[in-house]
Amino acid sequence: MKTSASLWSADLLAMGAAMDRLENVVDGFHIDVMDGHFAPELVFGPDFVRAVRGRTRRLVDVHLMVADADRWIGPFAAAGAGMLTVHPESCEDVAATLARIRVLDVRPAIAVGIDRPLEPVWDLLDAVDRVLLMGTLLGVKGVGIAPAIYERVRAVVRRRDRPVRSSARSERRLQVFVDGGLRRHIVPLLAEAGADGVTPGSLIFDAPDPAAAVRWIAEQ
């Protein structure tokens, strides 16, 4: 399993040190962006992303939980985001938004809330590098993962892996990640369901040895 470490759960007064401890073991750093409207929190802007980009060689994975994603694509791409994840309902035309992200030489991804149906994103799978499935409601910490998440992971994996007759099929393999409600006993179950990765926060940052926690996830 891949790990994109969620920096919202790191020690905000020692962010650089927290990142340095994980630099050689994580696949990326996950940055939540919330505007207090789309999600009930207010965290992280382009300047923070720019600082993280300057600190790491890993993928900087920015999750836009904002009411108007289109407004923020340019600023976060310019700040150094390597991946931009958007929610369809926060885009005027999500297909156009994803295409714009790709044109900016950033990897596009799409997030699906635990309370949202999966079917509307089926036509978008060929346009993204990752589907981020939320395991809890947006902006909520400290709650358990929704039991429905495992079947949702399996559904996206089945859709990704279905036979396609078109010779134009991309060689790129869509990643399926899960965010929210991650606990140690949950990770193996997500791996069994077919998830490619997770975006853990407290699971690693509250561990006695965060790097060892990431290596354990990689073994699942």
User: Which one, of 124, 100, 99, 123, lies nearest residue 110 by Cα?
Assistant: 124
Task: Give 185's DSSP letter.
Answer: T
Catalytic residue among 32, 61, 129, 196: 32
Catalytic residue among 27, 61, 179, 196: 179
Angstrom distance (rounded) from CA 202 to CA 141: 9
φ, ψ of residue 132 in degrees (nearest 5) = -105, 110
Angstrom distance (rounded) from CA 38 to CA 188: 31
Angstrom distance (rounded) from CA 162 to CA 168: 15
| Residue 32 annotated as catalytic | yes
| Residue 196 annotated as catalytic | no
Lookup: tokens for 210: 């965060």
> If DSSP codes are grouped into helix, strand and coil, which group holds residue 41?
coil
The angle subtended at Cα 151 by Cα 135 and Cα 115, nearest 5°, is: 45
Q: Provide the angle, in degrees to the nearest 10, between the axes of the packed helices 186-193 and 149-161.
A: 30
* Active-site annotation, residues: 32, 179
